A and B are shown apart, each in its own frame.
Chain A
């Protein structure tokens, strides 16, 4: 079974972000970028499926500027066999990304598509669900356990208050949650090998997809600052403050 795995280039999760002085967007110049952590989990799961003999080929795909090829090389160093870079310098919203991916799915005909449940920049949590709707494939979001066989996939999903298990038909779209697996680190020889793996560059136009969006970003501001608090010396003082100053306990 062919497995398609989508990856996104985002700001490194350890970097503290800054809003541009003109309030137009977040400042990403000279900021360390990395693969979205949830996409790393998706790549890891694809590699494990290949190790189990279920996946026959892993194709990594990304949408974005030329620099996003770094994340495709990273995916190939972890075990993806080849990669597709859909090149655009435009801002891509979730619907545009889902349309591009649907077009790639149409060409590649994978049995399974793995995506992170959300990207840590836009925090939208939309693309996988939109892709499932556009392709008509079964949808398994927020997955913490995945078992795939010839007939279908059994997924355990993180839902409010607990877990839900579903049986999905194939092909299926799976979005990953944190506890699905713990991603490995790429080994140096594999990083070298990944440089020689095939990477195909496409454009949304070639794929016949419009990524234009009707949602516009009017501005970005820093969140409201919390005024600094005080240190208390003892449990007694804490209880006294909570009762008499903050009035949150009685």
Chain B
């Protein structure tokens, strides 16, 4: 077996998700290369070379790959895929954007969002918002797979690089799409995807201003702040904070759901958290069925008290 892992980047650095995808690659077994594609990505390549289990880092450093546009990155993967039996990426917005293009152009199926490796051709993946788990098998010569990062523990990072770094000189042509701009939320808090503690708010927060009550608790816990789809739909907070079937899927050590009723679509995004706390005024809210610790109460009283006592 020979596996290519598409690295995720965050501002030119290697994103933490790549270590989790590496763990899925190791569960499949075989030789593992990591592809780092972007512009000015040498630091990310050096970080990737330190990940446990990497044989070789391949770097496509070119303006054509800046901003991870689907067309050129897809074409690059197509050009490299013949060397591999498996191509893996995370279920980041980049992985989801690019990998189906590789699958289609190679005329193979894609297996999305795997949470377990049963064999080199057999995987488990959630369907119906995580209300069922499917076991699927691919008979395609090339397996194209996206991996749910939170379902695999990241591989260790070594102090010294053990893998070699090689440049890939291919430059893909792109006449279909042009980058215009990017607006990334600036925050001192950890990212939702990698946070070990998450405090999330729902419709019960009432408005966007009240999220500062969550921020206070989050600051005490070093936590990321998330939201339910109801809170996003109501315009309280931006969509990139959304935890759920159609937002981020997270599995932190501690998840605190505040003013969240617990719709199926929200539970799909957080029910694999190790410990779940629910704070809600409605004692019949479905969120209490998945919570390890439930506190029935008025969040406007509970949150300030929690912040002051932590």
Contact = CB atoms under 8 A, between A and B. Distances in A.
A121 B98 CA distance: 21
Contact of B97 (A129, A162, A228): A129
A13 interface: yes
A224 B295 CA distance: 24
Contact of A214 (B10, B134, B138): B138
B33 interface: no
A152 B129 CA distance: 35
B135 A219 contact: yes
A183 B74 CA distance: 32
B70 A132 contact: yes
B65 to A, nearest CB: 14
B79 interface: no
A123 B245 contact: yes
Nearest to B292: A229
Contacts of A140: 177
Nearest to A38: B246
A218 B101 contact: no
Given A218-B136, A235-B302, A230 B294 contact: yes
B292 A230 contact: yes
Interface stretch (B24-32, B47-55, B157-165, B232-240): B232-240
B188 interface: no
B104 A133 contact: yes
A188 interface: no
B137 A16 contact: no
B302 A138 contact: no
Contacts of B274: 248
Interface string A107-151: 000000000011011111111111111101111111010000000
B156 interface: no
B221 interface: yes
A220 B275 contact: no
B246 A118 contact: yes
B179 A166 contact: yes
A189 interface: no
A247 B25 CA distance: 31
A216 B132 contact: no
Contacts of A129: 70, 96-101, 104
Interface stretch (A43-51, A72-80, A90-98): A90-98
Interface stretch (B80-88, B106-114, B205-213): B106-114
A246 B273 CA distance: 12
Given A98-B104, A132-B101, A215-B109, A120 B129 contact: yes
Contacts of A141: 70, 93, 96-97
Contacts of B122: 218
A230 to B, nearest CB: 6
A28 B271 CA distance: 24
Contacts of B1: none
A230 B275 CA distance: 12
Interface residues of B, number: 89
A4 B163 CA distance: 48
Interface of B is mostly: mixed
A167 B178 contact: yes
A226 interface: yes
Interface stretch (B38-46, B56-64, B283-291): B283-291
Interface in A160-177: 160-169, 172, 177
Contacts of B292: 226, 229-230, 246
Interface in A18-55: 19, 26, 38
Contacts of B294: 229-232
Contacts of B170: none
B109 A17 contact: no
Given A95-B110, A166-B69, A235-B306, A216 B136 contact: yes
B264 interface: yes
Nearest to A10: B128
Nearest to A219: B135
B207 to A, nearest CB: 18
A158 B306 contact: no
19 contacts: A11-B128, A121-B128, A123-B129, A126-B112, A138-B71, A139-B101, A139-B177, A154-B180, A158-B93, A159-B182, A162-B183, A164-B67, A177-B239, A220-B127, A220-B134, A221-B132, A222-B133, A235-B305, A242-B293
Interface of A: 11, 13, 16-17, 19, 26, 38, 93-95, 98, 117-118, 120-134, 136-142, 144, 154, 157-169, 172, 177-179, 213-223, 226, 228-236, 238-239, 241-242, 246, 248-249
Given A129-B104, A139-B177, A213-B109, 15 more contacts: A17-B131, A95-B103, A130-B103, A139-B176, A159-B93, A160-B94, A160-B193, A163-B240, A165-B180, A166-B69, A215-B138, A216-B136, A226-B271, A231-B294, A242-B277
Interface of B: 10, 67, 69-71, 74, 92-94, 96-105, 107-113, 122, 126-140, 175-185, 191, 193, 197, 221, 229, 232-233, 239-240, 245-246, 248, 253-254, 264-265, 271, 274-277, 283, 288-296, 302, 305-306, 309-310
* Cβ-closest 4 pairs across A and B: A138-B176, A129-B100, A130-B104, A162-B184
